[in-house]
A and B are shown apart, each in its own frame.
Chain A
Amino acid sequence: MRILLSLGVLSVMIAAAHAGTLVGKLDLPQTPASPQVTKGFLDRSENPFAPVRSIDIARQVVVVVEGEEKPVSPPQVMWDLVGESFAKPVIAAPAGADVVIRNTSKVPRTLVVKENAKLLDPGPLNPTATKSFKATDVGKSFTVGDKDAPHVVGHVVIVNTQFIAYPDESGHFQIDNIPPGAYKVKIWYRDNWLQRPDDDVNVSAKGKTELNPKIAAAAFASPAPAK
């Protein structure tokens, strides 16, 4: 038993020793101000002291690196519900992974998957409790929301890889432990793939491979409906 365990750890260490890292920065377009989702009795007004902030696109972007290899031993994807929103408004889950939604807020939520209401168990998701569903269909995306709080919305996309990155506010991202080889870099924004050619990248066995995808504003346009 000990021998088997030792062999396993050794193989992982050997694999890691032969894995690369993909780093980069998304070159995002200038974004407009965030749209007004709801309106009170009055229209919102800008403060007189500083320009208003624009939409934080990077928070809703997922960088996905897909290669020939299929995800092995799919991990569990933890998705936190914090207060009035998801910690990550958009996530990507490898095919076969369990997507676990954890309520870290202090209020119960009644979450529903818009595309498939049976995907999540009915009933409220109490504080500190979890609910999960299995990601099976590659390429499919789901919208999870609280029917009592329309502003609580999250998107999840099922991908055929386990190499996923979430850029920070400035667009920087990093994916570690990528086996060397040729990959395609795809970018998911909210509920669709960006309308742009995929980036090809060769990840080297050692060191960091840098990729700075440039994204035009037109890429955020909704895709044409399939004929």
Chain B
Amino acid sequence: MFLSKIWFFLVALAAAAALTVALVMPRPAQRQTDGEEKNRLGIACSVIDIVLADNARTRVALAGSFARAPKIVSALESASGAATLDESRMKQVRDVASDTMKGVSGHGPDFAILIDSKGRVVARAGLDENDFGDVVAGRPLVDDALAGYLRDDIWAQNGTMYLVSAAPVLRRDPPVTYVGAIVLGNKITNDLAKTVVNGLDVDVGFYLGNDDVASSRTVALDHAPMIAALGKLSGADLTHDCRNDNQFSMHAGAEEFTAVVGRLPGEAEAHQAFFTVLMTKHADRGFMGTLKAVQKSDVSFSKFPWLVVVGAFVIALGLGIAFMWIESDRPLRRLADDAVKLAKNERERLAEDTHGGKYGSIARSVNIHIDKLGRDAKSARTNLDQLLGPAPEGSLGTIDLLAGALPAARPGGSAPAAPPPPSDFKFHDPAPGSRPSAPSPAPVSAMAVPPSKPMAAATGLPATPVQRPHATPPRGSQTPPRPPTPAPVAPPTPTPPAQQTQPLHLDDDILEAAAEPNVDPYFKQVYEQFLAVKKSCGEPTAGLTYGKFSEKLVKNRDDLKAKTGCREVRFTVYVKDGKAALKATPVKEEA
């Protein structure tokens, strides 16, 4: 069984390892997926930065082209020289600005502000068109434009944001002079947000503190985590905001997102302007999720090593069966065959040497018990011979004293304490105490029949006939009641010195008796067994009546009791010299 146990251990170990692998494997995959999502989000955030910067470059270039428009140059040059700005000038300049805006191909600016060299607004187009004359110098974008710089910025006003660009307006004819500046602006809208994330498979939202400005997707997000993430950002380089370690999770209803916040530059930064790039978070796969994600193509022969798996299974199964057959089935079959042969009396003992391991131990144990039973039988026979001597010719048989073969249900004391010497007792002999259901055709060595009730039941037997040297007349009612039932088959004990055997002869007069008075079940049983054995031995049974038989038994029992002082007597049927014989065994009551 050693190999089988080792094999079962290895199979269980392999199964546990396979289960561990199956449960653990989704985790690295999940980690890799999370990492890829983070990278994708970070890249998307950086791409949005790039797109916005590219958009700013386009807008600055457009502002430069506006600033070079001759009508705008002359209008601002004229306004810069005026002490005050009036409405008619405003309308004239506004028309110029509107016409210029209309000339822009594609998505042009939403508004334009024309500023003279003093920083005054000469006209506005597209937004607050009737306002003019206010001073916008002081705004960094305007100051830079008036100083000769082209640049972009983000303005936050009235709850929205504008991507603005500015360029200085110069009279390029000598002497070159600054005559003002022009500011172009585009409102940040949902459409702009969608344009920014086009093809990125993410969403973006623009915010001014807790206020929504625009987003590529209508989703109600909790601003708290975004503001918290915004508070953690520091450093002048805003492009670092898109780093993966700045990402966080947030919810919108049941939907979970991975998000990253990026600060928006320029004037709007003072208003907590920022954008959030968010991506729907994939659910954790886990073991079941991984199984659900398996596709049919994943288990096709081209992708899955079915031959290896099936081969491993067959090898494992074959090895397991082989080990079981070698270590369990085959030895068990051998032992069973051996036991059958033992039962058929084809052999006297189990072959211990041919059975290994536990089966050899079983065979040895059985053989030891066979030996013990044989010794018990031999001891009992020896005692009987000592007590009764050989049975005479022509008698019904001999009654032996068989201390070690008491039936289990036999009333009286326990078996003798000392083990009898080894005997030639056979395994197929009836076990002591067992009650044969039918006479066996095979030779019967000994058959112990336990009495079932007190011997007082046999008091009505007739007187013993002649030729019974050791027999005594029946004592009728004087017969003492049968003692208590002895213990079942017990380990052999030394025969007490007081225990003796007494030969008993059953004469022909017994056979002539016909009447069957009170029937003692125990004697009846012994009688039937005796009758059956006689028949099996080919002896005549005509005239062998129960009455005479039981009378003889009672007499012999009483004689034996008187002689040995025993408490009980047991009778055993056996075959001796091809004839049925009977043994009486005194049972001394245990102290």
Interface residues of A (CB under 8 A from B): 33-34, 36-47, 49-53, 82-87, 105-106, 148-152
Write the B102-141 contact mask toward A (1 if CB under 8 angstroms, else 0): 0000000000000000010100000000010011111111
**Contacts A53-B178, A82-B135, A106-B134 hold; do A42 and B151 have CB atoms under 8 A apart?**
yes
Q: Which residues of B are found within 8 Å of A87, using beta-carbon distances?
A: 135
**Contacts A53-B148, A106-B131, A152-B138 hold; do A38 and B178 have CB atoms under 8 A apart?**
no
A40, B56: Cβ atoms under 8 Å?
yes
Among B119, B135, B136, B172, max chain A CB count under 10 A is at B135
Q: Which residues of B are found within 8 Å of A37, using beta-carbon distances?
A: 140, 143
B265 at the interface (CB under 8 A from A): yes
B60 at the interface (CB under 8 A from A): yes
B581 at the interface (CB under 8 A from A): no
B125-180 interface with A by 8 A CB criterion: 131, 134-144, 146-154, 165, 167-168, 170, 172, 176-178
B270-306 interface with A by 8 A CB criterion: 270-271
Nearest neighbor of A38 in chain B, beta-carbon distance:
B140
Among A47, A82, A152, max chain B CB count under 10 A is at A47
Assembled-state Cα–Cα distance A46/B167 (Å): 9
Q: Which residues of B are found within 8 Å of A41, using beta-carbon distances?
A: 49, 52-53, 55-56, 152, 265-266
B364 at the interface (CB under 8 A from A): no
Secondary structure at the B interface, as helix, strand, loop or mixed, is: mixed
**Contacts A47-B167, A53-B147 hold; do A40 and B176 have CB atoms under 8 A apart?**
no
**Contacts A39-B265, A44-B149, A148-B271 hold; do A50 and B138 have CB atoms under 8 A apart?**
no
> Within the complex, what minimum Cβ distance (angstroms) separates B428 from chain A?
108
Nearest neighbor of B55 in chain A, beta-carbon distance:
A41
**Contacts A40-B56, A40-B266 hold; do A34 and B138 have CB atoms under 8 A apart?**
no
12 A-B contacts, Cβ less than 8 Å apart?
A: A36-B151, A38-B267, A41-B49, A42-B152, A45-B151, A47-B148, A47-B170, A50-B148, A50-B170, A52-B147, A84-B138, A85-B119
A85, B135: Cβ atoms under 8 Å?
yes
Among B49, B148, B178, B270, max chain A CB count under 10 A is at B148
> Which one of A44, A85, A148 contacts B150 once the chains associate, using CB atoms below 8 Å?
A44
A40, B152: Cβ atoms under 8 Å?
yes
**Contacts A42-B53, A47-B168 hold; do A34 and B151 have CB atoms under 8 A apart?**
no
Assembled-state Cα–Cα distance A84/B144 (Å): 14
Q: Which residues of B are found within 8 Å of A152, using beta-carbon distances?
A: 138
**Contacts A33-B147, A51-B148, A83-B136 hold; do A40 and B265 have CB atoms under 8 A apart?**
yes
> Which one of A49, A82, A149 contacts B170 once the chains associate, using CB atoms below 8 Å?
A49
Q: Which residues of A are found within 8 Å of B168, using beta-carbon distances?
A: 47
A151, B154: Cβ atoms under 8 Å?
no
Q: Which residues of B are found within 8 Å of A38, using beta-carbon distances?
A: 140-141, 153, 265-267, 269
Q: Which residues of B are found within 8 Å of A46, using beta-carbon distances?
A: 148-150
B57 at the interface (CB under 8 A from A): yes
Q: Which residues of A are found within 8 Å of B146, using beta-carbon distances?
A: 53
Q: Which residues of B are found within 8 Å of A53, using beta-carbon distances?
A: 146-148, 178
Interface residues of B (CB under 8 A from A): 49, 52-53, 55-57, 60, 64, 119, 121, 131, 134-144, 146-154, 165, 167-168, 170, 172, 176-178, 265-267, 269-271
Assembled-state Cα–Cα distance A15/B136 (Å): 42
Assembled-state Cα–Cα distance A152/B134 (Å): 14
A40, B170: Cβ atoms under 8 Å?
no
Secondary structure at the A interface, as helix, strand, loop or mixed, is: loop
Q: Which residues of A are found within 8 Å of B139, using beta-carbon distances?
A: 84, 151
Assembled-state Cα–Cα distance A39/B135 (Å): 21
- What 4 A-B pairs are tightest by C-beta distance, nearest first? A85-B138, A83-B135, A52-B148, A44-B151
Q: Which residues of A are found within 8 Å of B56, using beta-carbon distances?
A: 40-42
> Within the complex, what minimum Cβ distance (angstroms) separates B257 from chain A?
25
**Contacts A34-B144, A38-B267, A47-B170 hold; do A85 and B137 have CB atoms under 8 A apart?**
yes
Assembled-state Cα–Cα distance A215/B339 (Å): 128
> Within the complex, what minimum Cβ distance (angstroms) separates B226 from chain A?
21
A84, B135: Cβ atoms under 8 Å?
yes
A83, B134: Cβ atoms under 8 Å?
yes
> Within the complex, what minimum Cβ distance (angstroms) separates A58 from chain B?
15
Assembled-state Cα–Cα distance A148/B140 (Å): 14
Q: Which residues of B are found within 8 Å of A84, using beta-carbon distances?
A: 135-139, 142
Q: Which residues of A are found within 8 Å of B119, using beta-carbon distances?
A: 83, 85
Q: A39-B151, A41-B266, A47-B167 are in contact. List 10 more A-B contacts (CB 8 A).
A: A33-B147, A34-B147, A47-B168, A50-B176, A53-B146, A84-B138, A85-B135, A87-B135, A150-B267, A151-B139
Assembled-state Cα–Cα distance A34/B147 (Å): 8
Assembled-state Cα–Cα distance A151/B176 (Å): 29
> Within the complex, what minimum Cβ distance (angstroms) separates A48 from chain B?
9
Q: Which residues of B are found within 8 Å of A36, using beta-carbon distances?
A: 140, 144, 149, 151
Assembled-state Cα–Cα distance A37/B152 (Å): 12
**Contacts A44-B144, A84-B139 hold; do A39 and B266 have CB atoms under 8 A apart?**
yes
Nearest neighbor of A51 in chain B, beta-carbon distance:
B148
> Within the complex, what minimum Cβ distance (angstroms) separates B224 from chain A?
22
Q: Which residues of A are found within 8 Å of B270, using beta-carbon distances?
A: 148-150
Q: Which residues of A are found within 8 Å of B148, using beta-carbon distances?
A: 46-47, 50-53
Q: Which residues of A are found within 8 Å of B64, using beta-carbon distances?
A: 47
Q: Which residues of A are found within 8 Å of B121, using beta-carbon distances?
A: 83
Q: Which residues of B are found within 8 Å of A51, using beta-carbon distances?
A: 148
Assembled-state Cα–Cα distance A39/B134 (Å): 24
Assembled-state Cα–Cα distance A140/B400 (Å): 141
